[in-house]
Structure 1
Amino acid sequence: MKVSAPAYFHSSATAQLLRPWVKERSNQLFYGQRKSGSKRHALTTKQGNKTFYKGTRSSGIGKHTPGGNYYITWSKVRTYVPPSSENYNHDLKPLVPKYNFTKVSSNSYKGFKNSLDSNLYYKKLSDYIFYGKEINPNDPELPEWLEHP
């Protein structure tokens, strides 16, 4: 198949030169427009390469000096004034239930040196093999907290 010359795809050289100044919409694309939609939007960080960092324009709060230091202009720093204490809702409570939970036993490795003792791991492994996922009722590390009803 013979390759067509690019000149055959254009209407004429004069029309191509006058194309940016076409005033009426006559099935001819305007300058800079495409059939697939608008392509002149600002590039976002998702569309750029992995090294493309746009920033948030929030770092211009000072100036670099010739010596390599950075002086902050405090009038450009964003500050947030909290509401006065009179406007706070003092009736709010922490998100903790009022149930009486007993303290969880900790560091109860009776008969072992510490939590990294190899005999403790061997015992836990044998208990897992014997009892499965269920808790051994004779386990010294059995949790002592109350279950939530």
Structure 2
Amino acid sequence: MQPTAPLQRAIRRLALTTKQGPHNYYKGHGTGAMGTHTKYGGYVIDWRKVRTYVCPDLREFSLTPFVARRIEAKRDSFAHTETGDAMDGKDYLRKWKEEGGEM
């Protein structure tokens, strides 16, 4: 049994459900309420419900940033090689190693 053509168009505009999506589609339940609405239209945050993420201690972390700390950021133009052409990946890695980048 199929729905009528106008009903099929209306169904396409509705929110996707797990029965209409792919076999592994999981809709989820949003992010969860982190507070309550007041009767005057405001919102009060309940700090016990706010998610907090604890960053691990990175002092002994062996990986380094991909950009060397001594390379100055150029905001007005792209990085160029000595020939004046745009820098490709190999030139960038070469310059990064010269500036003190660690692998």
TM-score under structure 2 normalisation?
0.39
Bigger CA radius of gyration: 1
| More relative contact order, 1 or 2 (CA 8 Å, 6+ apart) | 2
